[in-house]
């Protein structure tokens, strides 16, 4: 089967923000699982590596390959939604927004989601993409089954009856194979009531515990300078923003609460409230510290950022995520306070980001695989208790490293 696949020539690929490019030898956009399997087998037979480019929203070199680069956007759509079991099955290239209407029609919704909805579900799951709220896991934490094309070109489904493999596959950064479909746990459809406002730093810190525990979603952007809000399209409606917080609180709306379109006070279907609008003008780092150390880490970050201006002009976003069991998850076995900052494209921001890395390392910070980080193999093994188990499974499924690239080989070979 594999040798029959024609490998079309490659051309340059660039990610969404434009900080990563590669020129693969081959590029293909398969339209079926069988085509994926044939392409992977053909590439492996030629000794070429294989990677998938989903929506290209990762900042780290986790897509690049000089072998075969696959585009799975034709493998898109929710295949089934089962309200009785709270499950949905979707093809790997389904964008997050592609879940909305099919799930809503069945009285269902995604349990939680992040700031944007243009990622493909497989791309989002591969890196542990998350929203906010310690009662909820990342999107990876709700994966209950994955169908993969392995390095041998075989189609393999991993489900809850293989918990160790599933824990490896939930956050695998594309290293176990090409995902073609995923089964997710979903929830009953819900509407959200938002409360958005500009708060003082002291008020946020004083009310931190209540904000984190008593709301479905609480997240904030701390703005080091007056111009910081505009960099993430955060509207302060004329209020001063420097050294203040843009706070977002979402709670489930009662059934009799009418929809509202009032900015900052909207009430609507969950999927209309979650997404924000970003321009591709930032290069982000995001680290996960144990939830209970969140306030201490935030205070230290605020001091560092004020001392690092103007390089640190992008907001510090803070969210929370619940624990899960995925081997490479930054939330493995612990709930997290998640802190992200950005370098300004076009400037040499590496010294600033390294200072952030050094500071958050003191809080045992784990990294977001899709966002800039400075992880070494030593730190990987110190911070991720199941890293060895993941690597053993990776080696078993892909002994020749077909799905590794230079960046991933350094950490996971």
Ligand X SMILES: Cc1cc2nc3c(=O)[nH]c(=O)nc-3n(C[C@H](O)[C@H](O)[C@H](O)COP(=O)(O)OP(=O)(O)OC[C@H]3O[C@@H](n4cnc5c(N)ncnc54)[C@H](O)[C@@H]3O)c2cc1C
| Interface residue list for ligand X (CB under 6 A) | 16-17, 51-58, 62-63, 72, 92, 114-116, 119-120, 122-124, 126-127, 129-130, 173-174, 178-179, 278, 368, 370
Segments of 224-302 assigned E as strands: 244-252, 267-269, 283-290
Residue 16 CB, nearest distance to ligand X (Å)? Answer: 6
User: What's the first-to-final CA gap in the chain, in angstroms?
Assistant: 28
- 332: DSSP letter: B
Cβ neighbors of 25 (< 8 A, separation 6 or more) are: 7, 9, 10, 48, 66, 67, 68
Residue 238 CB, nearest distance to ligand X (Å)? Answer: 26
Please, which residue, 257 or 313, has the CB nearer to ligand X? 313
Residue 96 CB, nearest distance to ligand X (Å)? Answer: 8
Please, which residue, 313 or 338, has the CB nearer to ligand X? 338
Please, which residue, 287 or 363, has the CB nearer to ligand X? 287
Sign, CA dihedral 124-125-128-134, equals: positive
Please, which residue, 217 or 266, has the CB nearer to ligand X? 217
Please, which residue, 328 or 359, has the CB nearer to ligand X? 328
Q: How far is CA 360 from CA 257, 304, 329, 364, 370, in A?
A: 42, 11, 17, 7, 17
Q: What are phi and psi of 237, to 5 degrees?
A: 45, 45
Residue 128 CB, nearest distance to ligand X (Å)? Answer: 7
SS3 408: helix
Are 61 and 51 a contacting pair, CB within 8 Å? no
Residue 20 CB, nearest distance to ligand X (Å)? Answer: 9
| Beta pairing class for 13-14 and 21-22 | antiparallel
* 194 class by beta-carbon count within 10 Å (0-12 exposed, 13-18 middle, 19+ buried): buried
User: What distance in Å separates the CA atoms of residue 109 and residue 94, rounded to the nearest whole number?
Assistant: 15
Residue 5 CB, nearest distance to ligand X (Å)? Answer: 17
Please, which residue, 18 or 107, has the CB nearer to ligand X? 18
Are 323 and 171 a contacting pair, CB within 8 Å? no
Bridge partners of 199?
245
Please, which residue, 149 or 223, has the CB nearer to ligand X? 149
SS3 141: helix
Please, which residue, 223 or 259, has the CB nearer to ligand X? 223
Residue 408 CB, nearest distance to ligand X (Å)? Answer: 8
Residue 269 CB, nearest distance to ligand X (Å)? Answer: 18
Cβ neighbors of 130 (< 8 A, separation 6 or more) are: 112, 114, 137, 138, 139, 319, 321, 331, 338
Please, which residue, 29 or 242, has the CB nearer to ligand X? 29
Cβ neighbors of 337 (< 8 A, separation 6 or more) are: 288, 289, 290, 291, 293, 294, 295, 297, 298, 318, 319, 320
Please, which residue, 29 or 83, has the CB nearer to ligand X? 29
Residue 255 CB, nearest distance to ligand X (Å)? Answer: 28
């Amino acid at each position: 089967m594999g040798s029959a696949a024609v490998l079309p020539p490659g051309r340059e690929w660039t990610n969404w923000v434009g900080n990563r490019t590669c020129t693969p030898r081959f590029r293909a956009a398969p339209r079926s699982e069988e085509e994926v399997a044939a392409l992977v087998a053909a590439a492996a037979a030629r000794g070429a590596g294989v990677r998938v480019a989903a929506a290209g929203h990762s900042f780290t070199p986790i897509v690049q390959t000089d072998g075969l680069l696959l585009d799975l956007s034709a493998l898109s759509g929710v295949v089934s939604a089962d309200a009785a079991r709270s499950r949905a099955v979707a093809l790997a290239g389904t964008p997050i927004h592609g879940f909305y209407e099919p799930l809503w029609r069945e009285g269902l919704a995604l349990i939680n989601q992040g700031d944007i909805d243009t990622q493909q579900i497989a791309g989002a799951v591969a890196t542990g993409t998350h929203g906010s709220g310690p009662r909820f896991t990342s999107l990876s934490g709700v994966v209950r089954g994955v169908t993969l094309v392995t390095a041998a070109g075989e189609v393999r489904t991993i489900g809850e009856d293989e918990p160790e493999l599933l824990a490896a596959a939930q956050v695998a950064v594309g290293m176990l194979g090409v995902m073609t479909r995923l089964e997710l746990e979903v929830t009953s459809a819900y509407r959200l009531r938002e409360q958005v406002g500009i708060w003082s730093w002291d008020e946020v810190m004083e009310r931190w515990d209540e904000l984190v525990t008593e709301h479905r979603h609480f997240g904030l952007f701390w703005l080091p300078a007056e111009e910081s809000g505009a960099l993430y399209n955060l509207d302060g409606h004329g209020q001063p923003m420097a050294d203040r917080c843009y706070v977002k609180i979402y709670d489930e709306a009662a059934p009799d609460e009418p929809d509202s379109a009032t900015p900052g006070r909207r009430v609507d279907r969950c999927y209309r409230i979650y997404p924000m609008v970003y321009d591709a003008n930032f290069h982000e780092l995001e680290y996960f510290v144990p939830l209970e150390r969140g306030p201490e880490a935030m205070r230290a970050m605020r001091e560092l950022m004020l001392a690092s201006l103007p390089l640190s002009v992008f907001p510090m976003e803070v969210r929370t995520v619940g624990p899960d069991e995925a081997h490479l998850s930054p939330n493995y076995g612990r709930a997290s306070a998640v802190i992200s900052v950005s370098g300004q494209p076009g400037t040499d921001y590496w010294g600033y980001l390294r200072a952030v890395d050094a500071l958050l390392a003191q809080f045992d910070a784990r990294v977001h695989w899709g966002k800039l980080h400075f992880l070494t193999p030593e730190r990987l093994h110190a911070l991720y208790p199941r890293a060895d188990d993941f690597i053993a499974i990776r080696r078993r499924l892909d002994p020749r490293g077909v799905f590794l690239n230079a960046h991933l080989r350094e950490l996971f070979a």
